């Protein structure tokens, strides 16, 4: 004898905001559940994969680029600070890892002596 499965949507949902009882938000039927999901900005699990953004493009790095980036990452001290020399910075600019123009916050302040005003 086949069994008949009836989906009963009447339940208390704890994942929805603005509870109306100590057990959670009371859901009467499927339409009520879907409207509460829309109100709270949630998406049903079946539709969750459809709304995700597409994967980022996989970039192919040349052997030279891999060598320069690994040399830069290997020049870290024990605290994780990277101190790059001029040649490494020029090489990183050449492969496009750093922009041609260095931001102002990375520039060394102009002045004489160890203390700047």
For 32, half-sphere exposure in the C-beta direction (CA atoms, 13 angstrom radius) is 11
Same domain assignment for residues 35 and 67: no
Q: Looking at the domain assignment, is residue 111 inside a domain?
A: no
User: Cα(first)–Cα(last) distance of the chain, in Å?
Assistant: 89
Parent domain of 84 = 63-105
What pTM, to 2 d.p., does this model score? Answer: 0.36
Q: Looking at the domain assignment, is residue 78 inside a domain?
A: yes
Return mean pLDDT, the chain: 76
Taking only the tens place, the pLDDT of each residue in 54-88 is 666 777 888 888 888 788 788 888 888 888 788 88
pLDDT of res. 107: 64
């Amino acid at each position: 004898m086949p069994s008949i499965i009836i989906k009963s949507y009447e339940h208390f949902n704890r994942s929805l905001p603005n509870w109306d009882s100590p057990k959670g938000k009371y859901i009467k039927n499927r339409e009520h559940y879907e409207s509460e999901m829309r109100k709270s900005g949630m998406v049903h699990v079946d539709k969750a994969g459809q709304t995700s953004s597409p994967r980022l493009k996989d970039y192919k790095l040349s052997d030279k680029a891999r060598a320069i980036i690994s040399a830069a990452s290997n020049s870290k001290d024990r605290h994780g600070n990277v101190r790059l020399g001029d040649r490494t910075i020029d090489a990183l600019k050449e492969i496009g890892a750093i922009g041609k123009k260095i931001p102002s916050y990375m520039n060394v302040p102009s002045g004489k002596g160890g203390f700047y005003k």
